Structure 1
Amino acid sequence: MSEQHTSKQLSVIGTGVIGNGWISRALAQGFDVVAFDPMKGAEARTRNAVKNAWPSLEKLGLADGASQERLRFVDSLEAAVENADLVQENVPERLELKREILAKLDAAAPSATIIGSSTSGFKPTDLQQDCTKAPGRVIVAHPFNPVYLLPLVELVGGEATTAAQMETARALYRDMAMRPLIVRKEIEGHIADRLMEALWREALHLVNDGVATTEEIDAAVVYGCGLRWSLMGTFLTFHLAGGDAGMRHMLEQFGPALKLPWTKLEAPELTDELIDKVVKGCEHQAADRPVAQLDKRRDDFLVELLDLVHKYWPEAEGLEGRI
């Protein structure tokens, strides 16, 4: 992670799993963090989440000034954003609720302050609709769990958003050691979630049709395509599959297979039988290990994997470096 000290303030609205991930990351990068969540016990849960994330963050490397003590909770949304350099909204994924909260944030925050929504699916123009003060600064800033380790953040501007506002957002998220990916066009689900959703739907069909168990499908990803994807992604992986002639030869050779009925993009009906298969399969894989234990196992793996990714994917500003 970055060694650069910053005195910027991140204001976090909503402190569930994603909100707490943002808080942990920002603290590790030397930010001051102000949080607001009206739920009873929110502060205690957040401080415990940060404490649990800190060992992994220490392994990655803390910025100068990084401290868990730079977090404070306030009792109103308005107080949270008063001096914010960046606001991150993480309320539940309901469009009406997000628009209501974002309108309040827009009214309360200084006009130049970027307000990012962690929404995984909604388009920013829809989120901006009730904002009247500076709607363009309300954008999508979609991260991935665990936010304190995974660096990708998808940034999407709406109809009211200017290029200058997007560049300001890009710089702010870079300050948190994120790798911002500016999405060229608004679309539900953005980029990464649409890709994951396609794989998820096909996986459900394979379980539903009795082709494979949840464990077998996960093994196919972990020991096969997932290893290549973690370094090269989808397109460059297929480029190599074409040999010396690259992608052109791959498409000539395997392109016709795209017309074959190998995949089913529509999700299967979530019947009780399918739900039971998926749940029992996942419980078998978990092997009575609590989620907290699995979280730690995942984080330890990601810390080591990120070291490898950084070794073979040289650091660059944003995503401009070649994979």
Structure 2
Amino acid sequence: MRSDVHRVAVVGAGVIGNAWAAHLLAHGLDVSVTDPAPDAEERLLRDVEHALPMLARLGLETSGWRHRLTFTADLGTAVAGADFVQENGPEREDVKAELFAELDRLAPPDVVIASSSSSMLPSRLAAMCHRHPERVVVGHPFNPVYLIPLVEVVGHPGTPAAVVEAAMAYYTRVGKRPVHVHHEVPGHLANRLQAALWREAYSLVERGVATVTDLDTAISHGPGLRWALLGPLANQHLSGGDGGLAHVLEHLGPPTQTLMDDLGAPQLTPDLADALVAGVDDELDGIDMVRLAAQRDALLVDLLAAKARADALP
């Protein structure tokens, strides 16, 4: 696999693809974006121009980006000369099948083809490639891609270690924090963790234990503040004092097991969905959504900058 990546083909100019383009441009790479939609180039330029000021606040170089960005509706032109391919097409199997067959035909065999898919397993994507399925991985980012560092790298049973290593090294070089998911599972890693929290939140609403507002407050003004700095297990370790996680598990393991056994198993019925939507509407009543998202992203930039200055965080 190619160890030096200078040019990346970004396939799909939607929210994720355009955010990838902005991120990669801010890290000095040449980026070729392709999408067949008639307004794709206009959306690409708009989204990149929106993202670059936030990337500049993080200390990244954003000048001269226009000369390193190309757009084409032709997939072959975009892939030609690319050292890495990041696919961001619609989450539809028929579209993916046609797209991956073409990418497999067009990209040299030593070029990794990574998918941003959050729902499709890499083994299914690889099966769409008849020439070199071994170089297909999932490289799943989180939105906003140009701010959230996490990328989940997931191979399939036929993925050589060298392909995973090349993907991990590439993402690290472009400022990401990749994690290797060793076995493919639906939802990869972080979405499964999110789903576990959503599941109990939905259950608590369904049971009338708390309102949507109270649940969001409990996380955003409680453990969510710590989770932004350390993961749940590292935080649990700190809560154990000198004994660390071993002490916590020894003394609080049984009540924790009782708590886990009591967690709900809600079904997303129409009534529950209506209750959740109504709860969010009440929570955010009168708040400008554009302003809310802008403030969230601005605070994310401040948090990322502060974390970069810390020298003890893992």
Asked if these proteins are the same fold (TM beyond 0.5), I'd say yes
Distance 1:56 1:87 in 2: 25
Distance 1:188 1:7, change over 3 A: closer
Give 1:204-223 correspondences, 5 Å limit.
Answer: 204-223=202-221
Distance 1:223 1:8, change over 3 A: same
Distance 1:34 1:301 in 2: 30
Give 1:184-195 correspondences, 5 Å limit.
Answer: 184-195=182-193
Report the residue type matching 1:259 in the other structure.
Answer: T
Report the residue type matching 2:263 in the other structure.
Answer: T
Contact 1:140/1:157 (8 A) holds in 2 = yes
Which whole-Å deviations, capped at 9, do the CAs of 1:34-62 have from their partners, x for residues lacking one?
A: 11112231211121111111111110022
Secondary structure at 2:228's aligned position in 1?
helix
Give 1:278-317 correspondences, 5 Å limit.
Answer: 278-313=276-311
**Residue 259 (str. 1) matches residue 258 (str. 2):** yes
Q: Who is 2:112 aligned against?
A: 114
Give 1:1-323 correspondences, 5 Å limit.
Answer: 8-63=6-61, 67-257=65-255, 258-260=257-259, 261-264=261-264, 266=265, 268-313=266-311, 323=314
Mean Cα deviation higher: 99-108 or 271-280? 271-280
Which whole-Å deviations, capped at 9, do the CAs of 1:41-96 have from their partners, x for residues lacking one?
A: 12111211111111111100223765144222112212111111111111122334
Secondary structure at 2:31's aligned position in 1?
strand
Distance 2:174 2:247 in 1: 41
Shift of 1:243: 2.2
Contact 2:156/2:184 (8 A) holds in 1 = yes
Which whole-Å deviations, capped at 9, do the CAs of 1:157-194 have from their partners, x for residues lacking one?
A: 12222111122212221222111111222222111111
Shift of 1:206: 1.5
Secondary structure at 1:97's aligned position in 2?
helix
User: Taking structure 2 as the reference length, what is the TM-score of the superposition?
Assistant: 0.91
Aligned length: 309
Distance 1:223 1:179 in 2: 25
Shift of 1:259: 3.2
Distance 1:211 1:298, change over 3 A: same
Secondary structure at 1:154's aligned position in 2?
strand
Q: Who is 1:318 aligned against?
A: none
Distance 2:239 2:50 in 1: 41
Secondary structure at 1:11's aligned position in 2?
strand
Shift of 1:295: 2.4
Distance 1:66 1:133 in 2: 37
Report the residue type matching 1:186 in the other structure.
Answer: E
Which whole-Å deviations, capped at 9, do the CAs of 1:192-228 have from their partners, x for residues lacking one?
A: 1110110011111122222222221111111111111
Which whole-Å deviations, capped at 9, do the CAs of 1:245-278 have from their partners, x for residues lacking one?
A: 11112112221121344312x3x23233322222
**Matched residues, percent identical?**
44
Report the residue type matching 1:271 in the other structure.
Answer: T
- Give the RMSD, CA atoms, in angstroms: 2.0
User: Taking structure 1 as the reference length, what is the TM-score of the superposition?
Assistant: 0.89
Distance 1:172 1:63, change over 3 A: farther
Secondary structure at 1:231's aligned position in 2?
coil
Secondary structure at 1:35's aligned position in 2?
strand
Mean Cα deviation higher: 140-149 or 89-98? 89-98
Report the residue type matching 1:73 in the other structure.
Answer: F
Distance 1:105 1:229 in 2: 38
Distance 2:64 2:165 in 1: 25
Unaligned runs of 5+ in 2: none
